[in-house]
Amino acid sequence: MSDVDGWVEDRFPYDGPHSQDTVIEAATAIRELTRYISNATRHQHTLEWAATVRRVSNTLAGATWLQDEVLDRLADGMTRLAEDRTLYHEDTPSRDRGHGDPKAAATAREAARVLGEARKAVRVSATALDTVAQTVYPLGNE
């Protein structure tokens, strides 16, 4: 386990405990780490070696394949919520909430559909990143 693996496991143990807060925190950490990579790769010296591009591409491919699973679970969650009679849309008057809100259900189903479309795009990105890693693999520099 690398130092990064240990840091992540300490903060976000794979086997939990899991909560809404830890899921949101983990998603936020992904965003912030991606922000870091975006900033760091602006500097030529961080990508001086072909092997670095391969390792980053390969690691990002793995993360992107996992995003496919996450998006699938988010879509399942929205599909489940569409059946939740307590779900309401912000436009629904308070007196009409809690009895099944057709607008809320339709919105949840639409979100599930869009998440399915996002999964398709993620798979394309993951495949492309895998291809980059394989393409760069034989390259080296001194």
Q: Model confidence over 82-111: pLDDT tens digits?
A: 999 999 999 998 888 888 899 999 999 999
SS3 for the chain is CCHHHHHHHHHCCCCCCCCHHHHHHHHHHHHHHHHHHHHHCCCHHHHCCHHHHHHHHHHHHHHHHHHHHHHHHHHHHHHHHHCCCCCCCCCCCHHHCCCCCHHHHHHHHHHHHHHHHHHHHHHHHHHHHHHHHHHHCCCCCC
- With cut-offs at 50, 70 and 90, classify the pLDDT of residue 2: low
Q: Model confidence over 47-74: pLDDT tens digits?
A: 999 999 999 999 999 999 999 999 999 9
Percentage of the residues of the chain whose pLDDT score is greater than 90: 87
Percentage of the residues of the chain whose pLDDT score is greater than 70: 99
In this prediction the pTM is 0.86
Q: What is the mean pLDDT of the chain?
A: 94
